[in-house]
Amino acid sequence: MLSSIKLIIMNKFFDLRFVIGAFFLVVGIMLLIYSFFNEAVAHAAVNRWSAIFFIVFAVVMILLSFDKKPEDKL
Amino acid sequence: MNLHGIDYSIIGLYFLFVLGIGFLLKKRIKTADDFLMSARNIPLWITSLAFISANLGAQEVLGMAANGAKYGLYTAHFYWLGAVFAMVFLGLFMMPFYYGSKARSVPEYLKFRFDEKTRTFNAFTFAAMTIFSSGISLYALAMLMQVILGWDFNVSIWIAAGIVLAYTFLGGLTSAVYNEVLQFFLIVLGIAPLVYIGMQQAGGLQGILANVDNAKLHLWKGMGSAATNPMGTDAFSMIFGLGFVLAFGYWCTDFLVVQRAMISHNLNDARRTPIIAALPKIFMPLIVIVPGIILLALQKQFSGFELPLNVNGQVDYNMTLPLLLSKLYPSGILGVGITALIASFMSGMAGNVTAFNTVFTFDIYQTHIKPNAGEKHYLNVGKATTVVGILLSILTAYVARGFNSIMDLLQLVFGFVNAPLFATFLLGMFWKKSTANGAFWGLLSGTGAAALTYSLTTAEGKGGSIANLHTFYSGTSQAFNIAWIAFVVCFIVTAVISLFTEKKPEKELVGLVYSLTPRQQDKNRIWYKNPLWIAVIVLVITLALNVIFY
């Protein structure tokens, strides 16, 4: 079970949409967490809104990677 | 500009992903074709985004924001006049010949259509131009890091060059193309919040209209004379110089961008690549030009938004985007913005290096040094050329450090090389009587005419090394005029010499010349699979924008 999940995740890394989604998901989560601890900074809300947008974009890209045609593989 | 841990973490994460893509692709590279041509197996959405990302280098991201502040909305001509029409033309009319001829590069098409000497001339000038351009990207990146972040110039150069080398060496063109797509999203999503915050701070659209000089908020107003618009360019040199010669010369013949379409699955995808790429291209001014206009509005309303002076004591418009990032972005999203800038420089550099190694390996090494070697040999040559290309770029970056005007020189070099080349292609693809000797001497004459025009005219204190017969209102105007003169000279010389020299037999020109090649029938009823329908949509939107922002 664990090895098949590992295999699925490894295969996903060969899809560019998944890679882009993973990048923006990590950046979005980092920004979101950071925004909660730095609310006093000027324009701090932009971190939170950007984070939410990045996470939504990332989720869309990752979901698209599951609708894969053979030619979309890396 | 002070970066915090979160900002450095985002920059580090980006480097990790970029290198990761290179490592993932490494095991799939087995032949020179895989390394240099991506085995012509890249999906349409990736080739389309890579097509515009290859052009999203330092000049685009920093330069267009700078021009936005300097010339206002007139800068959008580089998109709505100087890009979209040429991209559509490439997709509809030229791609069938590039892709259908099975040429691996633009110089190789010239060999099929004309002869070896024309190909070699183009291969050498293009190789030199890509190294020059790649080195400038590296130099600009290091300078930017030094000025805004206080990083050491040498460290910045070697780290950036090392990362680009690592991922292009490991994964070849595919790695460069995949990273270009990641970089595209990073640039768009990293800079878009800046436009939103800037607009809010400037008072929205009303604030922009109230605080920016009205002359900078139009596309065509005042174009009757070079003296009556901020760009210092008249309508003729704008339309013929930029809209026709420079735009078509760059988008239709520069292998750096054309290569992204040539690695598609099939001809239909290759044709749709530049046309689909034109859609996001139409809206790029929102990301790269509007920040410059926002800065003008902010300067009127607040202090602290003044641009610094450069070494010549002039306003340094290139600092437009870095200034806005430092003033409007808090830590966190600032890291994303800085990473977007780094990505644009690395994208520009990697695009040039991958185009350089393809042209050197196929058009210079395989043709003149060692023909008929095995696949493995050319793969190794391609990889070695990548290393050499990066080292030459580093050398160029250090040379560029000693010259103040090297960015202007780069712009001129594009005019010298691409403008006459477009005349050669236009005649080669659409006039079956054009000959190899006509093309070769036409190219030489066009390039010579460009150099002569530059030596006989001045603009902003530059040029006129022989004499000053005319002074242009701006360097931009000079570049547009040099381009159309080079084009016209190349066109006439090619046509005249072709009338008196030996033509290739028609049977050898099938698939290379329009009148001798069966037409591509765009019969697909699904609109998004039909290049013609997408082209119509793109052109209608572009024309509408030209009317709206007249």
Q: How many CB pairs under 8 A join A and B?
A: 79
pLDDT at A43: 66
Under an 8 A CB cutoff, do B21 and A27 touch?
no
Q: Which residues of B touch A12 (CB under 8 A)?
A: none
pLDDT at B499: 94
Give how far B143 is from chain A: nearest CA, Å. 26
Q: Which amino acid, one-letter code, is at B421?
A: L
Which of A19, A26, A57 is the closest to B13 by Cβ?
Answer: A26
Under an 8 A CB cutoff, do A74 and B28 touch?
yes
B292 in Cβ contact with B69 (< 8 Å): yes
More confidently predicted of B14 and B100: B14
pLDDT at B315: 81
Give residue B76's pLDDT band: very low, low, confident or very high (50, 70, 90). Answer: very high
Under an 8 A CB cutoff, do A74 and B265 touch?
no
Give how far B264 is from chain A: nearest CA, Å. 11
The DSSP symbol for B76 reads G
Query: How are strands ordered across the β-sheet holding B457-459?
Result: B462-463, B457-459, B470-472
Q: Which of A46-50, B56-60, B144-148 has the lowest mean pLDDT?
A: B56-60
Is pLDDT of B211 > 80?
A: yes
The phi, psi pair for B38, rounded to 5°, reads 55, 25
Side-chain half-sphere exposure of A14, counting CA atoms within 13 A = 15
Q: Which residues of A touch B328 (CB under 8 A)?
A: 43
Q: Which of A3-17, B167-181, B331-345 has the lowest mean pLDDT?
A: A3-17
Q: Give the best residue of B6, B14, B167 to mutate against chain A (max A CB count within 10 A).
A: B6
Please report how the helices B153-202 and B5-26 are oriented relative to each other, as an axis angle in degrees rounded to 10: 120
Burial B284-320 (b: 16+ CB within 10 A, else e): bbebbbbbbbbbbbbbbeeeebebeeeeeeeebbbbb
Give chain B's contact residues with A (Cβ, < 8 Å): 6, 9-10, 13-14, 17, 20-21, 24-25, 28, 41, 43, 46, 174, 178, 181-182, 185, 189, 193, 196-197, 265, 328-333, 336
Which of B174, B265, B333 is the closest to A31 by Cβ?
Answer: B333
Q: Give the best residue of A17, A34, A61, A68 to mutate against chain B (max B CB count within 10 A).
A: A34
- Longest alpha-carbon distance in chain B: 69
Give residue B143's pLDDT band: very low, low, confident or very high (50, 70, 90). Answer: confident
**Residue B322 has which token pair?**
């870095």
Collapsed DSSP state (helix, strand, coil) of residue B1: coil
Q: Which residues of A touch B331 (CB under 8 A)?
A: 34, 38, 41
Under an 8 A CB cutoff, do B9 and A54 touch?
no
Is pLDDT of B426 > 80?
A: yes
More confidently predicted of B56 and B69: B69
Which of A31, A43, A71 is the closest to B43 by Cβ?
Answer: A71
Under an 8 A CB cutoff, do B329 and A57 touch?
no
Proportion of chain A above pLDDT 90, given as a percent: 36
Under an 8 A CB cutoff, do B189 and A53 touch?
yes
B187 in Cβ contact with B61 (< 8 Å): yes
Q: Which of B36-45, B57-66, B217-226, B429-438 has the lowest mean pLDDT?
A: B36-45
Q: Which of A30-34, B316-320, B367-371 has the lowest mean pLDDT?
A: B316-320
pTM metric for this prediction: 0.86
Which of A20, A30, A44 is the closest to B10 by Cβ?
Answer: A30
Please report how the helices B406-430 and B106-113 are oriented relative to each other, as an axis angle in degrees rounded to 10: 40
Q: Which residue of A has its CA nearest to B264?
A: A71
Side-chain half-sphere exposure of B24, counting CA atoms within 13 A = 21
Under an 8 A CB cutoff, do A47 and B332 touch?
yes
pLDDT at B168: 87
Give residue B528's pLDDT band: very low, low, confident or very high (50, 70, 90). Answer: confident
Distance (Å, rounded) from C-alpha B433 to C-alpha B406?
Answer: 40
pLDDT at B479: 84
Under an 8 A CB cutoff, do A35 and B336 touch?
no
Under an 8 A CB cutoff, do A43 and B43 touch?
no
B175 in Cβ contact with B20 (< 8 Å): no
Burial A44-63 (b: 16+ CB within 10 A, else e): bebbbebbebbbebbeebbe
| Degrees to nearest 5, angle at CA B312 with B308 and B317 | 40
Which of A16, A20, A46 is the closest to B333 by Cβ?
Answer: A46
pLDDT at A1: 61
pLDDT, mean of residues B367-387: 89
Is pLDDT of B410 > 70?
A: no
Q: Which of A15-29, B279-293, B299-313, B510-524 has the lowest mean pLDDT?
A: B510-524
Q: Which residue of B has its CA nearest to A71?
A: B43
Which of B20, B21, B336 is the closest to A27 by Cβ?
Answer: B336
Give residue B86's pLDDT band: very low, low, confident or very high (50, 70, 90). Answer: very high
**pLDDT tens column, B502-512:** 988 888 888 88
**Residue B173 has which token pair?**
């063109």
A65 in Cβ contact with A24 (< 8 Å): no
Radius of gyration of chain B (CA): 23
pLDDT, mean of residues B179-200: 90
Under an 8 A CB cutoff, do B24 and A14 touch?
yes
Give how far B182 is from chain A: nearest CA, Å. 6
Mean pLDDT estimate for chain B: 86
Distance (Å, rounded) from C-alpha B184 to C-alpha B344?
Answer: 8
Give residue A74's pLDDT band: very low, low, confident or very high (50, 70, 90). Answer: very low
Side-chain half-sphere exposure of B119, counting CA atoms within 13 A = 23
The DSSP bridge partners found for residue B462 are B459
Is pLDDT of B320 > 50?
A: yes
Collapsed DSSP state (helix, strand, coil) of residue A42: coil
Is pLDDT of B413 > 70?
A: yes
pLDDT at B39: 63
Proportion of chain B above pLDDT 70, given as a percent: 96
B239 in Cβ contact with B82 (< 8 Å): no
**pLDDT tens column, B323-365:** 898 888 888 899 999 998 888 888 888 888 988 988 999 889 9
pLDDT at A69: 59
Under an 8 A CB cutoff, do A16 and B13 touch?
no
Distance (Å, rounded) from C-alpha B184 to C-alpha B291?
Answer: 18
Distance (Å, rounded) from C-alpha B230 to C-alpha B223?
Answer: 9
CB-based contacts of A1, cutoff 8 Å, min separation 6: none
Distance (Å, rounded) from C-alpha B88 to C-alpha B95?
Answer: 10
Handedness of CA B337, B339, B345, B348 (dihedral sign): negative
More confidently predicted of B353 and A2: B353
Q: Which residue of B has its CA nearest to A41?
A: B330
Is pLDDT of B264 > 80?
A: yes
Which of A16, A22, A46 is the closest to B330 by Cβ?
Answer: A46
**Residue B121 has which token pair?**
């001339």
Distance (Å, rounded) from C-alpha B291 to C-alpha B287?
Answer: 7
Distance (Å, rounded) from C-alpha B79 to C-alpha B283?
Answer: 9
Distance (Å, rounded) from C-alpha B489 to C-alpha B450?
Answer: 9
Q: What are the Cα distances from residue B119, in Å, to B53, B96, B106? A: 26, 19, 8
Give how far A42 is from chain B: nearest CA, Å. 7
pLDDT, mean of residues B225-235: 80
